[in-house]
Amino acid sequence: MRLARLVRTRHPVTFTEKVRYKMLRDRRELIVTFADKAAVRDYVASRVGAAYLPRAYAIVDDSAALESVDLPDAFVVKPTHGSGAAIVVSASAPAGAELPRAEWGWVYRHVAPGAADRRHLAAIARVWLTKLYGQGPNREWAYGRVPRRVIVEELLEGSDGGIPPDLKFFMFHGRCRYIQVDAARFGSRTQDFFDPEWNHVPLSGGPRWADPTPARPDRLGEMLDVARRLSAETDFVRVDLYDLPDRVVFGELTSYPAGGESPFAPSRYDAEFGSHWTVPRRYV
């Protein structure tokens, strides 16, 4: 099966083809570090400084530890070995929001402190720790090498007190070509794309565009510099950052956006994104 995928991806042209090429061929430990939400913290601290990291309240191997660890009223719980799962706890959660059943817990969910029963959180985390992420058709290799743990971090809040927009910098050979802005993840989600000069790109990845169009961030220059420094050692990585009222904060490093299945409308942008990326014949 892997041999067949290697043959099919020998001559990638589009962005999604090159993501799949990377998934199959890039076996550097650096990519494992990027995928590990705990280990990547040391990488970020060494490259741009610990001031860009969100505060970590706990990193645990045993989910039962979540029942007794000292936490504030607002926090985020997520697995270190995958993507697409997080429990956000804060007073700004939608009224009536509840935690998912433990076996359905690989989702994003925002609940109020009163709805965040510690035993229930521990049960969700216990199921997380049984999951081997990234084992779909395209096999996201790096996640299978990440130790399965649970991390609890500070809740990042925007100027309005809600979840801040997520700015995703597409870094090709250390240079930003596009910026994706996702907002209102737990509400009516929007998604916009910009070039590095903050010109809006007429591209859709699924969610509707924001109205009004997101304003240019005051710290855009700083974020571009942080993204450049964090991406300097690889051919492609998406650097996710948050522009808070008082500082820029690191989110994650993503080598496999959407598992190689990123939607592009119009479809020509798949090739446009790919044109900025020269994949190596061999990763070393």
Residue ranges of domains in the chain, CATH in brackets: 1-53+158-284 (3.30.470), 55-155 (no CATH)
pLDDT tens-digit profile, the chain (284 residues): 555 455 456 689 999 999 999 999 999 999 999 999 999 999 999 999 999 999 999 999 999 999 999 999 999 999 999 999 999 999 999 999 999 999 999 999 999 999 999 999 999 999 999 999 988 666 899 999 999 999 999 999 988 888 899 999 999 999 999 999 999 877 789 999 999 999 999 999 999 999 999 999 999 999 999 999 999 999 999 999 999 999 999 999 999 999 999 999 999 999 999 999 999 999 98
Rounded CA-CA distance 206/183 in Å is 13
Rounded CA-CA distance 186/57 in Å is 23
Rounded CA-CA distance 212/218 in Å is 17
Write the single-letter amino acid at 59. Answer: I
Q: Which residues, in sequence order, are bridge partners of residue 60?
A: 150
Report yes or no: 78 and 91 within 8 Å, Cβ to Cβ.
Answer: no
Return the closest-CA partner of residue 37 out of 2, 83, 101.
Answer: 83
